[in-house]
Amino acid sequence: MPRKITTLKRASDLMCLPGRALLQTNTHAGKMWAIMPDGVQVADGDVAKIIERNGLIGMPDSLWPGLSQTYRRP
């Protein structure tokens, strides 16, 4: 089970480390965002802020065209 991130700053700091990705997954409770490989969960309300703040780009990996489920640093 992913660990919950309590602050936007901590999530942004983790995304600055090499090899990190912000992933959207689906669980029995609905969708969930987590930073991998750390396995820490990101609050839904912070996802857009993390993507914008860190300049992340969506990867073409989703089941639906134009709907990215993985974001990485360029």
Cβ(54)–Cβ(12) below 8 Å: yes
Q: Residue 31: its pLDDT value, please?
A: 86
Q: Residue 58: its pLDDT value, please?
A: 87
Q: Residue 22: its pLDDT value, please?
A: 93
pLDDT in tens, 1-56: 556 766 889 899 999 999 999 998 888 888 889 999 988 999 988 999 999 988 89
Sign of the C-alpha dihedral computed for residues 30, 35, 37 and 38 taken in this order: negative
Q: Would you list the domain boundaries of the chain?
A: 3-72
Q: Residue 18: its pLDDT value, please?
A: 94
The residue behind tokens 């490989």 is 37
Q: Residue 1: its pLDDT value, please?
A: 53
Q: What is the dihedral of CA 68, 6, 37, 73, to 10 degrees?
A: 50
Please state, in angstroms and rounded to a whole number, the distance separating the CA atoms of residues 46 and 28: 21
